[in-house]
Amino acid sequence: MKKGDIFVIAAVCILAAALAGVFFALKKDGKTVLVKVDNEVVCEYPLDTDREIVLEHNTAVIRNGEAYMREADCKNQICVKSGKISKRGECIVCLPNRVILEIK
């Protein structure tokens, strides 16, 4: 590797970090949570109202302007481990149970 190669790699890394920062800074807060089961909307709730949403296989929670999956009876628990969402376009998917929480 030459000096020029290291410079190009460093420049690309800095540019990628800057673009990622801009992307996350410009993401807008969501207003509602869509709950879909089998790709059909079963309910929609505002993010500013705390509530618990009990479904057949999952339990979702809206609290303090964020939504998350608290419980699921699926084996891998990826949806439970995915954390809280609050920005437009973010979603949590429980693939085995075909449940989606999506911020609008």
Q: Both 42 and 74 in a single domain?
A: yes
Q: Both 17 and 57 in a single domain?
A: no
Q: Both 77 and 56 in a single domain?
A: yes
Q: Both 15 and 55 in a single domain?
A: no
pTM for the whole structure? 0.76
- At 26-83, the pLDDT tens digits run 778 899 999 999 999 999 999 999 999 999 999 999 999 999 999 999 999 999 999 9
The SS3 of residue 40 is: strand
pLDDT for res 24: 72
CA distance 66 to 83: 10
Q: Sorting pLDDT into bands at 50, 70 and 90, what band is 1? A: confident
Q: Which amino acid is at 40?
A: E
Q: Both 48 and 60 in a single domain?
A: yes
Where would I find the H helices in 1-104? 3-26, 78-81
Residues 72, 80: contact at Cβ < 8 Å? yes
Q: Which CATH number goes with the domain that contains 36? A: 2.60.320.10
Q: Both 12 and 55 in a single domain?
A: no
Region of 61 on the Ramachandran plot (φ > 0 left; ψ -120 to 50 alpha; else beta):
beta
The domain in which residue 18 lies consists of 1-28
Residues 56, 96: contact at Cβ < 8 Å? no
